[in-house]
Amino acid sequence: MARRHGHYYVDDTCIGCGACDHACPGKVDAVYEVAGDFLGRFAIVAEECIDCDLCVPLCPVDCIHDARNEGIASKDGDLEQIKKLQSWAQARPQAL
């Protein structure tokens, strides 16, 4: 059985305010601060995201997007492009 993935992602215009992190439901906790990013930007773990979209209206710079509406992911859940967009966050070195 294929694991379900969320469809939201944070683009590189994130200013690191943390509003999305505070909005993400506690038991979900799909938003994280990118370790080692000098701007303190945040990213979303697609495998943990439940598509609740609570983070979207709180973002002051509108950097959180639904990939299905952006043409990045198909309606049937193809997330290959989202994974490429988030690779910058996952490739960052871990904080000491």
Return the pLDDT at 86: 65
Give mean pLDDT, residues 24-45. Answer: 91
Residue 68: inside a domain: yes
Residue 95: inside a domain: no
Q: Which residues span the domain enclosing 68? A: 8-90
* Structure letter (DSSP) for residue 72: S
Tell me, what CATH number does 20's domain have? 3.30.70.20
State pLDDT tens for residues 70-96. Answer: 777 665 555 555 566 667 666 766 554
Q: Is the pLDDT of residue 14 over 80?
A: yes
| Number of domains forming the structure of the chain | 1
State pLDDT tens for residues 35-63. Answer: 999 999 999 998 899 999 999 999 999 99
Residue 63: inside a domain: yes
Q: Is the pLDDT of residue 15 over 80?
A: yes
d(CA 1, CA 28): 21
d(CA 42, CA 20): 8
